[in-house]
Structure 1
Amino acid sequence: MMEKEFLVKCNESQKIISVKATDDLVSVIKNTFVIKEADVILQNYDKEWDDWIDVSDFDKIPNRTVLRCISLKPSSDQVSAAPSLSQSTEESAVDSDATEILESDLSTDSEEMLDVPNGYLKGKWPNKFPIDEMKFSQSLKEALKNKVCLMWNQKRELLDVIAKEIQKYTDSPSKIQRHQIALELISKYPHLRETLGSGTDGWQERIKDKMKNIRRNKRNNSTTTGCRRKRFSPPALATMNKKAKRGEVNWSPDIPDEEDDESLNEHLEKMSKEFKKATPNIDVIRQRMKITYAQRRKFINTNPLIFDIKEKYPALFTVSEIGHEFKRLTDTELHKTFMDSLEKAASNILSIAKSSKRASQSSLKYMHTADKKVAALMLLPHLLGNQDHHFIEVFERETTRDYITDKPKSGADPFVAIVGDVDDPKCCYIVAEKVIVLDTPSVITAASTLFGFFFVCNIEYPKSFSETFIFIQKCFMQLCDKSKTPRKVVTFVEKLKM
């Protein structure tokens, strides 16, 4: 006999119930939640209308659907079984996607299980998450009214408002709650719907990162007695260099004589304020980035997380500023040198690939790429023996940001994520510590930016594709060091005849 399962939400409680074909669904729900009133309304979430709709035909409700039960005459005797402290946070959340919840959103996340016990809830989570426009700045209001693409600082302001509202209820919203907030956001401002994935994935990820940062700041600011607090540890990232060894010429400069910690912090604060403006003055930011370079290098050389670097120096995480920082560090132009060298070597790389036994059938498909520079770049790891681990991951079909950050075999090591066809990609991301940290305009720019990223953030090349980056460093960028060049690289350079 066929049996269906439903996730039913009633007041502050929600439970998974099983119903046989011969059972009366309403009766089962009323008995489960001890509802004494005669009249109730059942609703399920309709994706097309993006809202909760009354159920008219119970027999046609799909299996594993989320239902909402509303009592028309609430009774004081009704039992509202609040979630226990031992339940997962996912079970204390509210409305979300109707047909996929049980299969995806209710799956537990180890990080959230650690950080989000239901005991941390400060109040009843709202059925409709409020987004207060009165708290927006005038520039943000105009951008939303005119339906223009938000600049990064406007997105940050929007997330600040959302985060403050979230904190009225919890510091650790669950996956379902983040989904609810993102749905409410794009419902209120449809032009904010993203083309990638379901349209809400990016906003869910930003909310998750924002609240994670808030929790981390609270932990860092809290006082501990009797023992030292264990430092947050993300998935293992490639170790950081303790001293210059890749041709850097300005590894850890002294702070300028005319500056001190106080004046540098003032520069940092002014730069942060400028960066948050609707139209920041790029020249001012660049000037202050130059002034604070020595302070920044001392901080980066202490082995901080990428997350911490971005939080303290958000202006650093742009394609242009990665290039400027690389120039300060190595006295070498990043993007132009990379492009010129790749263009010079592309034809020879493709010739080697045609006769090489290293190139697999899956890699040879890039031989037909329209841009020969892109083709050469995609084949380079295969020719250097890094077939199993590539610094460029291609996602030919549209997918979610979570899938992009979790898919690669390289763990938390930085890599380039390309969404769509390499000839005409929809998105080019730099991913590090399993978080998208940077958007880039093209495949080649993404590759050069990633190379500079290893230098700027002081990260060693991942062993899984170190030969590729050693080749780029020594042959493309002409940054020589005292380390022994791997035999694979030497052999490839001899074939290349650069």
Structure 2
Amino acid sequence: MGVEELKERWPALFGVDEINAEFLRITTVPLQARFLASLDKHHNKLIEIIRKRGGTVREKTRDILKVLDQSLDVNLRRECLLKCLIVYLGENVDQLIKEYLVVQKDEAESELERCTMAVFVLREKDDLLQPPQEIGIVIEGVEVINELPSVLHACAILFGLIYALNLSYPTELKYTFESLQKVIMEVEPKKMSRRVCSLSVKL
């Protein structure tokens, strides 16, 4: 059964409280509380590891780290940290977080309809320091939830939906989701790929 049909039949399943409850039932781990607290716990060490890297990682995280250094907003700092983590793992931030200006809404809708899984963000201006107008989640081209308070909350809820709907991690983000599962959420952490294990050891 596709996500669109699931949403029509069981709309309550796509509510934030229900996703949190379902994740807790499946894993015995509190979803949002663990996701945010664990990322905060690893924040300083992760940033230190990322800043030490040269080459492509340094190049691709330069602007993100600049925003992180300028902002006092905890949600924006968490968002920057997650973006840096994705780059550090050798994956592409744009595969998970799709950012658009409000004036590009039609283009955004057309692109998101072809999207397997993503968090989308609509901004008034091309300025990360300004709060977004809209944050939501798309799965199988269907907007399943919106009006989320931050990009990090959206990523946590997407992670929970993957469990609640029994979906596979997207191949192009397999290391990102593996690190979220095993390092950040500490769900079934015993067996890790070499890349994620290396990160875990450094932390």
Is TM-score (shorter-chain normalized) higher than 0.5? Answer: yes
Q: Deviations over 1:222-269 (max 9, x none)?
A: xxxxxxxxxxxxxxxxxxxxxxxxxxxxxxxxxxxxxxxxxxxxxxxx
- Once the two structures are superposed, the pairs formed by residues 140-179 of structure 1 within 5 Å of their partners are none
- For 1:329 and 1:422, the matched residues in 2 are separated by 35
**8 Å contact kept, 1:385–1:488:** no
Please, what is the CA RMSD of the aligned residues? 2.2
Q: Deviations over 1:199-221 (max 9, x none)?
A: xxxxxxxxxxxxxxxxxxxxxxx
Alpha-carbon deviation of 1:374? 2.1
| Residue of structure 2 in register with 1:343 after alignment | 40
Q: Which has the larger radius of gyration?
A: 1
Alpha-carbon deviation of 1:347? 1.5
**8 Å contact kept, 2:32–2:156:** yes
Q: Does 2:163 match 1:455?
A: yes
| Residue of structure 2 in register with 1:363 after alignment | 61
- CA change 1:356–1:430 in 2 (3 A) is same
**8 Å contact kept, 1:393–1:418:** yes
- For 2:162 and 2:128, the matched residues in 1 are separated by 23
- CA change 1:388–1:327 in 2 (3 A) is closer
Tell me which of 352, 363, 374 is aligned to 2:79: 374
Q: State the secondary structure of the residue aligned to 1:412.
A: coil
- Once the two structures are superposed, the pairs formed by residues 147-296 of structure 1 within 5 Å of their partners are none
- CA change 1:442–1:388 in 2 (3 A) is closer
Alpha-carbon deviation of 1:412? 3.1
- CA change 1:412–1:337 in 2 (3 A) is same
Q: Deviations over 1:78-109 (max 9, x none)?
A: xxxxxxxxxxxxxxxxxxxxxxxxxxxxxxxx
- For 2:49 and 2:114, the matched residues in 1 are separated by 30
Q: Which has the higher contact order (CA 8 A, sep 6+)?
A: 2
Q: Does 2:58 match 1:354?
A: no
| Residue of structure 2 in register with 1:392 after alignment | 97
Alpha-carbon deviation of 1:389? 5.1
- For 2:49 and 2:42, the matched residues in 1 are separated by 11
- CA change 1:414–1:385 in 2 (3 A) is same
Q: Does 2:181 match 1:473?
A: yes
Q: Does 2:18 match 1:321?
A: yes
Structure 1 residues not aligned, in runs of 5+: 1-303
Aligned length: 190
**8 Å contact kept, 2:51–2:58:** no
**Counterpart code for 1:377:** L
Alpha-carbon deviation of 1:405? 4.0
Structure 2 residues not aligned, in runs of 5+: none
Alpha-carbon deviation of 1:406? 3.8
Deviation >6 Å, runs of 4+? none
TM norm structure 2: 0.84
| Residue of structure 1 in register with 2:4 after alignment | 307
- For 1:363 and 1:411, the matched residues in 2 are separated by 27
Q: State the secondary structure of the residue aligned to 1:346.
A: helix
- CA change 1:402–1:326 in 2 (3 A) is farther
- For 2:93 and 2:12, the matched residues in 1 are separated by 34
Alpha-carbon deviation of 1:404? 2.2
| Residue of structure 1 in register with 2:88 after alignment | 383
Tell me which of 135, 139, 146 is aligned to 1:432: 139
Q: Deviations over 1:29-82 (max 9, x none)?
A: xxxxxxxxxxxxxxxxxxxxxxxxxxxxxxxxxxxxxxxxxxxxxxxxxxxxxx
Percent identical pairs in the alignment equals: 28
**Counterpart code for 1:311:** E
